[in-house]
Structure 1
């Protein structure tokens, strides 16, 4: 089905999955529809990035850059319900604290936060604040946010295409993601983020795309070695780590005047 109404409903489901933004109450839901909605995960990232960019721009008009960054980070956490940060924290606890695949999966389902998760979350948020503060003083941060939010969600969502879902599908919120993507859905995801990245200098666009491919390849191999596949938490972790990598690459490009 490719009619406009159906596609709009799929987009609404993707928005509801990744954010706290309201969608029409009449939007029909099914596991199959939620799985098909994965094609719009990058587009949702673009929307969320645009909203955060707007909040930063408004804040920066009244506050110093670092304070505007802080306000934007708080808004982002509220906007997504710390969805991806929660995934990063749970994955760090599971893989850091479990000695076997089964134990790691059990720990990842535990809602309590352990040492590995707490340390990872603190470093991720602190690192994000430091990097965004630097970028705010040397780049157009609103544009950076849109690119990072879009590309990082693309990388995370593409892991569904060729990895095995290893969580308990009977109790997981990410159950609909257990079914693999189709090739057209994968291409739509990738095309969305590539088009967004094209606003950068060509060499930076190429650098980010190469970095995304390398990160995805390495992260996929790492997850397969430790879990035998992916879980919803792993997708959240992939998004957060890729977002941080994007900021780091852009900082390096500014520092070394690459573009």
Structure 2
């Protein structure tokens, strides 16, 4: 029972860290929990995806798909405070040009957004909106389920990076210091377990999604490994911004994968 209670506490710590959601006062806090809670990142994504999916489903009853998708994306960004989008923009600024490793790390620490970051955000949000719009227009129920799955599964990718790569910046001065500590095998296994549970839920609701799901998981794995290799070559590791960027890339890849098979069949 104490082990289960500890995991529940870790989930709430992760939820508090990556969203605006309030958590119960009985949860408490210990500094080491911030690193341990990484195992529940996909569970936080499940909550964010459920909220965004609910907004999408409700909005589709009142407004056309374009408006419903905009409201759904706004809801997810509001819930997370744009945490991952900020990491994507900073990573685009730092790694978009041909600057040295030291200069790239310096740029990513700057709170101001540059041209690469602005262009990256426009393209990322535009592509996600386009993919969700096409899904919602073709099959509203599928769009809701894919929103749920994409948010959950994409958050396992940063956990993989935390397990596979060292931290590239100054860990003592990291903006998100808990993310500067390497994730162990148990953390990775639990994170993947959340993805498997979400995939099982998806198939229980629509079993015909198995081919799309398999393709999406392959694409997600490929994009995660690509980001790992690129960050290793470019920085020799990852930063907190790079984790957010990877989540965004994998989320977009998942959306596009489901849409690709929907268009083919």
Q: Is the 8 A contact 1:89 1:117 kept in 2?
A: yes
Question: Which residue in the other structure is 1:187 paired with?
Answer: 189
CA separation in 1, counterparts of 2:5 and 2:198?
24
Structural RMSD (CA): 1.5
| Cα deviation 1:203-223 (Å, max 9, x = unaligned) | 222212221221111110000
Flag structure 2 segments of 5+ consecutive residues without an equivalent: 204-208
| Cα deviation 1:9-35 (Å, max 9, x = unaligned) | 111110011111111245333331111
Say if 1:179 and 1:2 are closer, same or farther in 2 by CA, change over 3 A: farther
Q: Is the 8 A contact 1:84 1:237 kept in 2?
A: yes
CA separation in 2, counterparts of 1:75 and 1:18?
14
Question: Which residue in the other structure is 1:101 paired with?
Answer: 101
Q: Does 1:165 align with 2:167?
A: yes
| Cα deviation 1:12-71 (Å, max 9, x = unaligned) | 110011111111245333331111101100111111101111111111111111111111
Question: Which residue in the other structure is 1:174 paired with?
Answer: 176
Question: Which residue in the other structure is 1:91 paired with?
Answer: 91
Bigger helix share: 2
- Normalised by the length of structure 2, the TM-score is 0.92
Give the C-alpha shift of residue 98 in structure 1: 5.3
CA separation in 1, counterparts of 2:113 and 2:25?
33
Flag structure 1 segments of 5+ consecutive residues without an equivalent: none
SS in 2 for 1:111: coil
CA separation in 1, counterparts of 2:248 and 2:221?
15
SS in 2 for 1:62: coil
Question: Which residue in the other structure is 2:224 paired with?
Answer: 216
Q: Is the 8 A contact 1:98 1:107 kept in 2?
A: no
CA separation in 1, counterparts of 2:210 and 2:73?
28
Q: How many residues align?
A: 257
- Normalised by the length of structure 1, the TM-score is 0.94
Say if 1:54 and 1:212 are closer, same or farther in 2 by CA, change over 3 A: same
Question: Which residue in the other structure is 1:228 paired with?
Answer: 236
Give the C-alpha shift of residue 2 in structure 1: 5.5
* Structure 2 counterpart of 1:243, from 251, 255, 258: 251
